[in-house]
Chains A and B, each alone.
Chain A
Amino acid sequence: MVMAEEEESGVSIQLEFPKGRVKKIMALDKDVKRVSSEALFLVSRSTELFLQFLAEKSAQVAIEKKRKTVNLEHIREAVKRHQPTRDFLLDELPPPSQPTKPDRPTQPAGRPKLDPPPRGTRRIDLFFRKPELDDPAQAQPPENPAQAQPPENPDQDQAQSPVPVDES
């Protein structure tokens, strides 16, 4: 349905933006349950005013810089000059100079894992520490001689068990 344009003292109520699109954008806010038709109308109209305002300011910036083409920098400058607009919009604008992201991810170079030496191989560092192990004070423990004596009576030996008997 095309809304009839009613001109009274130059005030037009015909909308520039499609209603469905504006409504869809408003509905992106999860808290918004329902929107009356007049609210939809007012948001659409105020957005037009905002666009006209920002376009005008951007054009002024472009003229100051003696440019005929309005570009991103001029829009950013216009946003900065208006406090309410800057409050909600400056963070949304792309940064002035976009830094190039590193292509390759940074990986810490790890040391190659050393394979454990084969079994039975002595560590090479022991050879260098060998002089330190020469301790003349260290003596070997005395070896106790075996006190076991063969039985004297061969006859009893054959009759009794081979376990040696305590003679004490």
Chain B
Amino acid sequence: MDQDEQDRALPIANVSRIMKQILPPSAKISKEGKQVMQECVTEFISFVTGEASDKCHKENRKTVNGDDICWALSSLGFDNYAEAIGRYLHKYRQAEREKINHDKKYENPHINRAPPPPLLLSRVTRDKVENPPPSPPNQSG
């Protein structure tokens, strides 16, 4: 596997580690099995991304957001994942808010710790701007 192919797949070390966490302690994984599993999960990403991207395209939006991913998972038949991912989405947004508040504390010049780089803060701001709530469709009276 050349470097270009490696960049287009998830690292096999991570794949192998997660598999071993799930498998019984006595179980082993063949080298071929690891490689196939690596391809499977990489294909999963492309599969979900494609479905979410199609939805964005139909709604004339350019940024794939978290709700699109949840919708794609449910649409493709991975309903269990959609539920778990929904909880993770909630947790993620909560963590993002806490992180923003945490960053704001260090804007105080009296504290010794250096503030985070501006790029991070602007990134968060840009993400918010790029995710406006979709406007409701106009209904003819």
Contact = CB atoms under 8 A, between A and B. Distances in A.
B41 A51 contact: yes
Contacts of A92: 39-40, 43
A70 B27 contact: yes
Nearest to A24: B7
Given A17-B10, A71-B30, A75-B40, A38 B19 contact: no
Given A36-B65, A88-B47, A25 B27 contact: no
A34 B92 CA distance: 19
B33 to A, nearest CB: 5
B107 interface: no
Q: Is the interface of B mostly helix, strand, loop or mixed?
A: helix
A69 interface: yes
Size class of the contact patch on chain B: 35 or more
B66 A59 contact: no
A75 B127 CA distance: 38
Contacts of A56: 22-23
Interface in A111-156: none
Interface of A: 1, 6, 8, 11, 13, 16-18, 21-22, 24-26, 28-29, 31-39, 41-43, 45-52, 54-56, 58-59, 62, 68-72, 74-75, 79, 83-84, 87-89, 92-94
Interface of B: 7-11, 14-15, 17-19, 21-24, 26-30, 32-33, 36-37, 39-50, 52-54, 57, 62-66, 68-70, 73, 76-78, 81, 84-85, 87-89, 91-93, 95-96, 98, 120, 123, 127, 130-131
